[in-house]
């Protein structure tokens, strides 16, 4: 029992990331009709917004008078640099700000990702609305390569550890709460935060689509683009907003994921492939499907990683997601919650 709960919990954070990326992919696909292979890159860019914030916040100077210890002409890590934020706000407040670099990055990520999203849509994607899906795949695949190589050039190829605030270091003892023996179900605090955060973002997006006029038009557009166009509603303008929104969601998902997985330049691609599988399993064009499939596959993957399961079916943890995707595609081509007529000739 404990083991099962533990695996469900373990699956939640990966599932959250899949769900958030798949949500954006589906939004773009559903409204714009574009298959965006660069969506993983947006997730990766978000993560690097956090990396950059952390670097900016710890940017420092060497205080006068405190020269480094140098021996024989070599200077061993000059005297500790004092970050400007600590200098300005005092060591305590400054230290806290640095410690909270990742959550603070969210605030920065929103405008940055919105800007990137708008630039992408206006600069590239909009010329591809009428082109075949294969062209869309190819051009966004090219863009994804470009974006990840740019990041690689400036940030290097190695993963960059980006810790969560100190408060969230350590684990939460779920076992005790649920009445099991202590230390049986330990769950890192940050993963809990991530799940909560994902739930809020997903809820927010759904609320936005459900309760605003804008959202209503978008949903109508997803259901039947032609009719909405005929009603004289300029759906094109809304596309930019939707693309920006999807970019923000992916970016925020990336920011918050940094303490779980140290960001590297190819993380976007890694997540993209899986997220596409998630979208297909959930059903192309279905938002609830994307979210549900994201969590489902995340949890499934975590179950498949249990030693007992691996002993039974070696290698299953590596392939379970693809296997599920293949089975779903062949038995339910529209996915778990897909609508009729999406991407069918």
Partner 1 sequence: MLGLKKSDLRLYLIVLALLIFAPFLLNPFPDTSGLAQFNAGYPDLMQKLIIFGLFAVGFNILFGLTGYLSFGHAAFLGVGSYAGVWMFKLLTMNVVPALIVSTLTAGVFALLIGFISLRRSGIYFSILTLAFAQMSYSLAYSVLTPITGGETGLQLSLDDPRIIGISRTESGNIPVPHFFGLEMNSATTIDFGAWSFTFSAGYYFAAVIFAVAFFLTIRLFRSPFGLMLRAVKSNQSRMSYTGLNSRPYALAAFVISGMYAGLAGGLMVAMDPLAGAERMLWTASGEVVLMTILGGAGTLIGPVLGAGVIAYLESIISTINENVLHQWFGGLPDWAENTLVTVVEPFVGEGWHLTLGAVFMLVVIFLPGGIVQAGRLIARFFRRNRGEVGALSGEPERRPGE
- Which residues of the shown chain bind partner 1 in the complex (CB under 8 A)? 35, 124, 127, 131-135, 137-139, 141-146, 149-150, 152-153, 269, 273, 276-277, 280, 284, 314-315, 318-319, 322-323, 325-326, 329-330, 333, 343-345
Nearest CB to partner 1, comparing residues 64 and 308: 308
- Round to whole Å and give the CA distance between 25 and 43: 11
What is the closest distance, in whole angstroms, from the C-beta atom of residue 310 to partner 1 in the complex?
9
What is the closest distance, in whole angstroms, from the C-beta atom of residue 309 to partner 1 in the complex?
13
What is the closest distance, in whole angstroms, from the C-beta atom of residue 139 to partner 1 in the complex?
4
What is the closest distance, in whole angstroms, from the C-beta atom of residue 121 to partner 1 in the complex?
15
Nearest CB to partner 1, comparing residues 7 and 140: 140
Distances in Å between the Cα of 5 and the Cα atoms of 199, 273, 320 are 19, 27, 19
- Round to whole Å and give the CA distance between 152 and 90: 34
Distances in Å between the Cα of 114 and the Cα atoms of 107, 129, 149, 243, 271 are 12, 20, 21, 8, 20
Q: How many CB atoms lie within 10 A of CB 232?
A: 6
Q: How many CB atoms lie within 10 A of CB 207?
A: 11
- Round to whole Å and give the CA distance between 217 and 199: 24
267, 147 Cβ separation under 8 angstroms: no
What is the closest distance, in whole angstroms, from the C-beta atom of residue 325 to partner 1 in the complex?
5
Residue showing tokens 């100077």: 61
What is the closest distance, in whole angstroms, from the C-beta atom of residue 224 to partner 1 in the complex?
20
Nearest CB to partner 1, comparing residues 92 and 344: 344
- Which DSSP letter does residue 166 get? G
């Amino acid at each position: 029992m404990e083991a099962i709960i533990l695996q469900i919990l373990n699956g939640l954070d990966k599932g959250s990331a899949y769900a958030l990326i798949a949500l954006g992919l589906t939004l773009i696909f559903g409204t714009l009709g574009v298959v965006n292979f660069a969506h993983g890159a947006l997730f990766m860019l978000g993560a690097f917004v956090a990396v950059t914030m952390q670097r900016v916040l710890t940017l420092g100077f060497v205080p006068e008078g405190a020269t480094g210890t140098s021996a024989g002409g070599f200077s061993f890590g000059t005297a500790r640099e004092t970050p400007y934020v600590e200098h300005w706000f005092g060591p305590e407040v400054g230290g806290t700000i640095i410690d909270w670099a990742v959550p603070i990055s969210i605030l920065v990520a929103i405008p940055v990702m919105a800007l990137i999203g708008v630039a992408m849509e206006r600069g590239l994607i909009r010329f591809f609305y009428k082109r075949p899906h294969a062209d869309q795949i190819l051009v966004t695949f090219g863009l994804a390569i470009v974006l990840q190589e740019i990041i690689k050039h400036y940030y290097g190829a190695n993963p960059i550890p980006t810790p969560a605030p100190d408060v969230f270091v350590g684990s939460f003892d779920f076992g005790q709460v649920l009445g099991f023996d202590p230390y049986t179900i330990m769950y890192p605090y940050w993963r809990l935060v991530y799940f909560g955060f994902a739930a809020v973002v997903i809820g927010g997006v759904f609320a936005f689509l459900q309760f605003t006029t804008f959202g209503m038009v978008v949903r109508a557009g997803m259901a039947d683009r032609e009719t909405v166009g005929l009603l004289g509603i300029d759906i094109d303008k809304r596309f930019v907003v939707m693309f920006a929104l999807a970019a923000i969601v992916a970016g925020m998902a990336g920011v918050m994921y940094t303490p779980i997985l140290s960001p590297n330049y190819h993380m976007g691609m890694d997540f993209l492939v899986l997220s596409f599988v998630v979208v297909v399993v959930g059903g192309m064009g279905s938002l609830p499907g994307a979210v549900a499939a994201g969590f489902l596959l995340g949890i499934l993957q975590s179950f498949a990683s249990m030693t007992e399961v691996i002993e039974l079916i070696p290698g299953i943890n590596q392939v379970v997601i693809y296997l599920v995707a293949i089975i779903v595609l062949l038995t339910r081509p529209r996915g778990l919650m897909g609508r009729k007529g999406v991407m069918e000739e």
